A = this chain, B = another copy of it.
Amino acid sequence: MKYLNQQEAISIDEELFNEYKFSVDQLMELAGLSCAHVIADAYAPESNKILICCGPGNNGGDGLVAARHLALMNYNPYVYYPKRTEKELFRNLQHQAESMGITVTTDCPDGASVEQEFGLIVDALFGFSFKPPVRDSFLPIMNVLQRSKLPIVSIDIPSGWNVEEGPQNECDIQPACLISLTAPKLCAKRLLNAQHYLGGRFVPKRLEEKYSLELPSYLGSNLFVKLN
């Protein structure tokens, strides 16, 4: 299986939209749903809430979708979504989550209450197009994640990591679980003792071959593959 560099990840993404004519709505729904299925595979529902941290771009959109599906599966998601866009899709994703009774807040939770109230953190802050450094407004939540003892599930990229090189500092987060979408990026080779899943079962065979992705086989109708 191939591990993508940043430019390959960007090119594949563009090709899915421009050549294969998928809409962002479609692929974000499938990606976020596969994330919810991975979380259900790796973590049983419990009384503690799941803190889902959503960034300003598509990675955050995947998090908003996952939150909605997790609520339908009897998990208790709580969304921190500080930096909103005016794009209709994102406003709608937020509205859908709130209409399901999910709190979506711009208030950064403090570290102590996170450890007390939550059982799991989903990191949907930055995705494959991230370039350091982290913007100032995201430093408080990055700080919470870096100090937390809770398991962190990162969507596509552990936030703050260089997409190709992995962690940049000793304090960078080490997720307990990474969900690579479409195909893993090079930084996934730098995971330490993490569960690694592949989600986003929508890649056309022809695209897989063009980029020599050599994706593993999804079993039956599963929306994810466990890679380790």
Contact = CB atoms under 8 A, between A and B. Distances in A.
A150 to B, nearest CB: 22
A72 interface: yes
Given A40-B221, A72-B201, A72-B202, A23 B22 contact: no
A73 B220 contact: yes
A99 B20 contact: yes
A221 B66 CA distance: 12
Central interface residue in A25, A36, A205, by most chain B CB within 10 Å: A25
Contact of A101 (B30, B36, B205): B205
Interface string A93-114: 0011001110000000000000
A63 to B, nearest CB: 15
Copies held by the complex: 2
Which 10 pairs between the two chains have the least Cβ-Cβ distance? A25-B25, A21-B92, A40-B221, A21-B95, A37-B221, A23-B25, A26-B29, A100-B204, A25-B26, A29-B29
24 contacts: A19-B99, A20-B96, A21-B91, A21-B92, A22-B92, A23-B89, A23-B92, A25-B25, A25-B26, A29-B29, A30-B33, A33-B33, A36-B221, A37-B221, A40-B221, A41-B221, A72-B201, A72-B202, A73-B218, A96-B204, A99-B204, A99-B206, A100-B205, A101-B206
Interface of A: 19-23, 25-26, 29-30, 33, 36-37, 40-41, 72-73, 89, 91-92, 95-96, 99-101, 201-202, 204-206, 218, 220-221
